[in-house]
Chain A
Amino acid sequence: MRSSQVLPENGPPRRARRALLSAAVLLLAWSAGGRSRAGYWGAGTAPLQAFFPTPGAGAARQATAKGAPAGELTISAAADLQFALRAVAEGFERKSGARVRLVLGSSGNLTEQIEHGAPYDLFFSADVEHPERLEREGLIVADSLFVYAEGHLVVFVPKGSPLDFGKQGLAALAEASVRKIAIANPRFAPYGRAAVEALEHAGLYPKLEPRLVLGEDVSQTTQFVVSGNAQAALTAESLMFAPGAQDRGRYWVVPPADYRPLAQAAAIVARSGKQPLARAFLAYLEAPAGQAVLARYGFARPEARR
């Protein structure tokens, strides 16, 4: 008898079904309209184009762009490159007429994605180990792997923070006012690994471990401080040059001798159908213009090239 209590059998379900059906019909009509109108309004201008991309649209854009190697490049990059690589990509877009799409994540996450056939042309890791793993698996173009920069670990604190790192170094994190310290997950994020090493080097790890909260990548780690939930973050120096970052807090560079160097490697993904364009991008990055941008975001030139 009570089986009907949870879902009444009369009225409402039938009405709901009718509503669902009409919604589906509406959606279908709209999508069909979108398809036919995309051509009518011209490629790229119709907002519906974004929802229903036609295979020819990319090619059309390629043909109209000026400069030799045009096209679209999809780059997967470690989260610490969020601002630096975007700046490099803008320069490259102006020079080549190609378009660059950036996909950001932790190096471990992106490596997993490439192992499962993600359609990336280039992979910029925040370490060397992950690209090397892909190299062993034959998933990147042989000999395309190279170390493009060296990243730096910083402590990032909110603007009004009383911590004095200049005087105390990392030991300032042991102050009682620091309740939560955000680091990237050391199991798959290189900066998280470096953060643990730096804390261990300072002899602070056992004491501070209960205060650690893990971000999925350096972006989330930094954002835990920006949102006012953690009192400090061990994160990437390159994110400190983001627009508006200076208004939110200040940072102190952890002595690079305290952790294994964050050499960062890039490689061309073997499945990429745009290898010449990918090579052009790497060449641009290695040229003085690209290197200057990286330097502006706190990246050091790697000492030894592979």
Chain B
Amino acid sequence: MNWEALALTLRLSLFTAAALLVLGLPLAYWIAFSQRRWKFVLQAATSLPLVMPPTVLGFYLLVAFGSSSPLGRLWTAWTGHTLAFTFAGLVVGSILYSLPFAVQPLVNSFLAIDPKLIDASRVLGASRLATFFRVILPLSASGAATAVALSFAHTFGEFGVVLMVGGDIPGVTRTVSIGVFDLVEAGNYAAANTTSLVLLGVSFAILVMVYGWNRGAWPRAPWA
């Protein structure tokens, strides 16, 4: 078992899940409550990674990171290196790749809140921001937990994007899924099996947690 790859993958999943919670809350709020006529276009764009091949995303990321794109040149001038083949590059790719897994549960739980509660908060003088943090967010704790868990799990099993922009560097971009791919390519089935079992176990444990949480099988935190 390659512990370095496992630690790296856990770190990548944690960073991505945390970033997606921060980015996902305002995005989901807008999708849930905006009255704009064309908001479904943004909704569709957010869901794109669900149906788009990871190779397409990886390809565009590679081009965007490279020295032929203005964005890539700007980043290189700023940091001295390209985003491809770096941990930061993988985080950027994973955020895009797991976006719907964070936004969708948040939107659903926002929409499930009784609008009367939100209206009451506003009528009683609380600002939009205060209403969000004191009414909407506490009532959506379970949705937020699902969003974090699902984006964590989805990033944990990510493969195509990492293969396209990672460069397979041990300890930096060689995630568990890439490690499995390498082991199979090299014909080392025993090691591939061990690693795959760990990946399978972790992914299953996360999903059991999510579904258990949503069924109310476990006691809730006081704030939930």
Contacts and interface: CB of A to CB of B under 8 A. Distances in A.
Q: Is chain B a partner of chain A in the same complex?
A: yes
Interface of A: 2-8, 106, 108-109, 111-112, 158, 179-180, 182, 185, 187-188, 212-216, 224, 227-230
Given A214-B168, A229-B65, A5 B143 contact: yes
A213 B185 contact: no
Interface stretch (B8-16, B79-87, B197-205): B79-87
A6 B67 contact: no
A4 B111 CA distance: 11
Contact of A6 (B66, B80, B143, B165): B143
B120 interface: no
21 contacts: A2-B216, A3-B214, A3-B216, A5-B109, A5-B112, A5-B139, A6-B214, A8-B108, A108-B185, A109-B185, A179-B82, A185-B168, A187-B186, A213-B173, A215-B167, A224-B84, A227-B62, A227-B68, A228-B72, A229-B67, A229-B84
B112 A8 contact: yes
A112 B66 contact: no
Given A227-B68, A228-B68, A214 B167 contact: yes
Contacts of A216: 163, 168
B186 A229 contact: no
A212 B84 contact: no
B141 to A, nearest CB: 8
B185 A2 contact: no
Q: Which 3 A-B pairs have the closest CB atoms?
A: A213-B167, A228-B66, A228-B67
A6 B108 contact: yes
Contacts of B113: 5
B105 interface: yes
A187 B72 contact: no
B63 interface: yes
A109 B214 CA distance: 42
Given A6-B105, A6-B143, A229-B85, A187 B169 contact: no
Contacts of B63: 227
A212 B166 CA distance: 12
B60 to A, nearest CB: 11
A179 B81 contact: yes
A218 to B, nearest CB: 14
A111 B184 CA distance: 11
A228 B81 CA distance: 11
Interface in B117-162: 139-140, 142-143, 146
Given A5-B142, A180-B85, A228-B72, A112 B185 contact: yes
B168 A5 contact: no
A143 to B, nearest CB: 24
B222 interface: no
A6 B85 contact: no
A229 B62 contact: yes
Contacts of A179: 80-82
B66 A213 contact: no
A224 B166 CA distance: 10
B112 A180 contact: no
B142 A6 contact: yes
Contact of A229 (B66, B105, B111): B66
Contact of B167 (A2, A106, A182): A182
B134 to A, nearest CB: 17
B116 interface: no
Nearest to B214: A6
Nearest to B184: A112
A106 B185 contact: yes
B66 A227 contact: yes
Contacts of B72: 228-229
Contacts of A227: 62-63, 65-66, 68, 84
